[in-house]
Chain A
Amino acid sequence: MDALDVARWQFGVTTVYHFLFVPLTIGLSILVAILQTLWHRTGNEKYLKLTKFYGKLFLINFAMGVVTGIVQEFQFGMNWSDYSRFVGDIFGAPLAIEALVAFFLESTFIGLWIFGWDRLPKRLHLATIWAAAIGTNLSAYFILAANSFMQNPVGYQINPDTGRAELTDFVAVLTNKVALITFPHTIAGAFLVAGSLLVAVALWHLIRRPDSTDTPAYRFAAKFGSWVTLISATAVMITGDIQGKIMTQVQPMKMAAAEGLYDTESPASFSVLTVGSLDGSRELFALKIPYLLSYLSTGDPNGTVSGINDLQAQYTAQYGAGSYTPIIPVTYWSFRLMIGFGLAAAAIALLVLWSQRKGRTPTSRWLLRAGLVMPLLPLAANSFGWIFTEMGRQPWIVFGEMLTRDGVSRSVSMAEVLTSFTAFTLIYAALAVIECKLLIRYAKAGVPDLTPEPDPDDTDDAERPLAFAY
């Protein structure tokens, strides 16, 4: 272990942790906005109850996303200062724009939404949750454009005097084909999580409290969440398929590493499960679907998929001696776990819809158990997707331009980065426990009873308590 390893572990831990909250913020902000819109349009109180109920869960999660997000921006400079120097001319701009255009919108309007129930006219109050939700989704685009530059650098040149990357075409950075496909894939993945949370909580109430007067609200939430889950699962698959083909073009090594494909094959079969020796020299057991990998990577069932050994030889010739191969067990398994967990969530969503067919109320204990783990599945799928795409880029920090080991801060000591890694891990672990307990507590409490909303135009009553206060 040296400072580089610890800095990498810290980036991995803090980023995966941050991204446990981001998908729910992205997905749930829109779903809550839709619920509030339904209430606004129909006047049906069931939607208002669901808005307030899921809104509370959303905010418990939102706070964590905000505070862990600041760490991300600071971390580039703190632990990866040589990386920041190398790409700052390109990478800083989307980050700054993300803050100015998206985070201000998100944070300001979320404050208005939380505290504005009795201060704003209804329509305007509805607009505030939409503004916050749009800000949240917009922020995803800019940060993914920045990340896509690391996967597939475009719109730049290397300054021969400074050795730094310089921006030549900002539109090219924002329309990087990796960014254009990663954005819908990530957003769909986020809705997979949010839809699953809707289902899990509603299902728990439907099965445990079938006599509740709020059953119609939970029925709606379970159905709505299931449809969101199924539609987003479909979108995840379609976008993932396109993404795989683009990845094969721009980062062929990542595709080969996803498959543990050592030798170039045409046609190549997709390994559902392979047990072999870690260095890939011997295959002990394999379950394979013929032609599928060729189709996934190239769109042609007989297409050629480059293997790790050939790519390694090609990169050695191109970039000089060294290993250009990611850690294969990590990429191989994270790729499979991403797909497997995502599909499992979609399968449960189908079961939930089936259990409610023709007005039935679900009663199965097994379905309840499946429903409770349901939100964890796409959450894990999201994490493994990121672990795959970031670990699959290694040893590069910017593909083809800078190695990860060259990006680390030279002036930061092992003691410093170890202190930082330990501190973040401890505070994040403590907050995770607190957050989960709060989420469960508020999820169990169920939809709130409605108190009549005071009229925002009635200003006479100066002593009237606030509709909401911390």
Chain B
Amino acid sequence: MELTTIWFLLVAVLFTGYFILEGFDFGVGMLLPVLGRDDRERRVLINTIGPVWDGNEVWLITAGGAMFAAFPEWYATLFSGFYLPLLLILLALIARGVAFEYRHKRPEASWKRRWDHAIFFGSLLPAILWGVAFANILRGVPLTADHEYAGGFFNLLNPYALLGGATTAALFLTHGAVFIALKTVGDIRDRAAALAVRVGVATAVLAVAFLTWSLTIRANTAAIALAVAAAVALLGGLAAAYARREGWAFIGTAAAIGLAVATLFTALFPNVLPSTLDAAGTLTATNAASTPYTLKIMTWVAVIFTPIVLAYQGWTYWVFRKRIGVAHIPPH
């Protein structure tokens, strides 16, 4: 396999991992005001992701770094072109990350309420905007012949991309509800499970509509197969959630997100950012790539360190595998 193909695959894997992992973090954040009826319950929700959210976010930093190292043209054009959405994502991630750490540092209700808002909006905004961004990547954006973005902000808010945003937000919401059902005990667990099924049905409708629309824009056999598999995984996950098989439900929603992201990347390949303006502006895995020397070094680094990272991150989930409930939340 060509080095550029390997790196296209690695970038896709990193974003897939990011959306599966931070997907449920975003879901938990969005559900904070819905499922958390009092401070204790909200603390239960936050603590289901407390030890792991930071490690999950590093998947994004690594995906961004891998894109920069392996496809500098893609990184440069995408990040300068999708300027305002990325700015909003950054501001959201700042407010949300600080909120997790600072919320419990003072007892006042007003203090906590403010950080709860930060967690809610800091989760909702990226959950929508990542969908908008990836839909636009697949759809293509106006690029000049020298790969400069020539559209404005509102160019990115087309109906297809907005459907993409609604889909990712709904997927993360369902994924988060399933995760909460898996990680908690008591009343909150029951409510999360019930909510997962209700939200999940709407999510399935959105996801099927979005993936179908995506495949009409560009498709290949593999992408169609992945899209079908994503839909099946989501429905299977929902069935498991309905049957209160929470482990299987989580595997189902995680697989659905993973397969949906894989669908987009597979449909996109070998392009990385198609141009709707000047065909010469289209960025591909070849014309956006670094030199073979750089890719070779990075491949060695990835081959050695990725398994190590997966091992210790997996171990973290094992250490914090126990369900928690209101009884486990210590007073201040």
Please determine whether B46 and A470 come into contact, CB atoms closer than 8 angstroms: yes
Cα–Cα distance between A92 and B67 once the two chains are bound (Å): 8
Please determine whether B316 and A96 come into contact, CB atoms closer than 8 angstroms: no
Query: Interface SS of chain B: helix, strand, loop or mixed?
Result: helix
Determine the chain A residues whose CB is within 8 A of the CB of B94 once the complex forms.
67-68, 70-71, 427, 431
Nearest to A90 among chain B residues (CB) is: B294
Contact of B54 among A111, A410, A465 (CB under 8 A): A111
B78-115 CB mask vs A (1 if < 8 Å, else 0) is 11110110110011011101101111111000000000
B297 interface residue per 8 A CB criterion: yes
Determine the chain A residues whose CB is within 8 A of the CB of B149 once the complex forms.
411
Known A-B contacts A93-B298, A96-B65, A115-B320; A67 and B76 likewise in contact (beta carbons under 8 Å) = no
A66 interface residue per 8 A CB criterion: yes
B114-155 CB mask vs A (1 if < 8 Å, else 0) is 000000000000000000000000000000000011100100
Cα–Cα distance between A467 and B77 once the two chains are bound (Å): 47
A416 interface residue per 8 A CB criterion: yes
Whole-angstrom distance between the Cβ of A416 and the nearest chain B Cβ: 5
Whole-angstrom distance between the Cβ of A291 and the nearest chain B Cβ: 45
> Chain A, interface size: which category?
35 or more
Please determine whether B72 and A469 come into contact, CB atoms closer than 8 angstroms: no
Please determine whether A96 and B298 come into contact, CB atoms closer than 8 angstroms: yes
Cα–Cα distance between A467 and B95 once the two chains are bound (Å): 26
Cα–Cα distance between A65 and B146 once the two chains are bound (Å): 36
B248 interface residue per 8 A CB criterion: no
One of B166-174, B205-213, B224-232, B300-308 contacting the partner: B300-308
Nearest to A68 among chain B residues (CB) is: B94
Known A-B contacts A89-B72, A96-B298, A466-B324; A108 and B98 likewise in contact (beta carbons under 8 Å) = no
Please determine whether A67 and B97 come into contact, CB atoms closer than 8 angstroms: yes
A376 interface residue per 8 A CB criterion: no
Whole-angstrom distance between the Cβ of A328 and the nearest chain B Cβ: 32
A9 interface residue per 8 A CB criterion: no
Tally A-B pairs: CB < 8 A: 242
Whole-angstrom distance between the Cβ of A42 and the nearest chain B Cβ: 27
How many B residues, CB 8 Å from partner? 73
B69 interface residue per 8 A CB criterion: yes
B319 interface residue per 8 A CB criterion: yes
Determine the chain A residues whose CB is within 8 A of the CB of B243 once the complex forms.
none
Please determine whether A92 and B69 come into contact, CB atoms closer than 8 angstroms: yes
Cα–Cα distance between A410 and B77 once the two chains are bound (Å): 10
Please determine whether B55 and A111 come into contact, CB atoms closer than 8 angstroms: yes
Whole-angstrom distance between the Cβ of A117 and the nearest chain B Cβ: 11
Please determine whether B76 and A82 come into contact, CB atoms closer than 8 angstroms: yes
Please determine whether B97 and A63 come into contact, CB atoms closer than 8 angstroms: yes
Nearest to B147 among chain A residues (CB) is: A85
Please determine whether A412 and B80 come into contact, CB atoms closer than 8 angstroms: yes
Please determine whether A99 and B62 come into contact, CB atoms closer than 8 angstroms: yes
B183 interface residue per 8 A CB criterion: no
Whole-angstrom distance between the Cβ of A112 and the nearest chain B Cβ: 6
Cα–Cα distance between A106 and B39 once the two chains are bound (Å): 30
A438 interface residue per 8 A CB criterion: yes
Instruction: Name 8 A/B residue pairs within 8 A (Cβ), A-sorted.
Output: A60-B102, A97-B301, A107-B54, A108-B55, A167-B293, A411-B149, A412-B80, A427-B95
Residues of A within 8 A of B (CB): 59-60, 62-64, 66-71, 73-74, 76-79, 81-82, 84-85, 87-93, 95-101, 103-105, 107-112, 114-116, 119-120, 166-168, 170, 409-412, 416, 419-420, 423-424, 427, 431, 434, 438, 441-442, 463-470
Q: A84-B79, A409-B76, A463-B327 are in contact. List 8 more A-B contacts (CB 8 A).
A: A63-B102, A84-B72, A84-B75, A99-B62, A166-B293, A427-B91, A431-B94, A469-B43
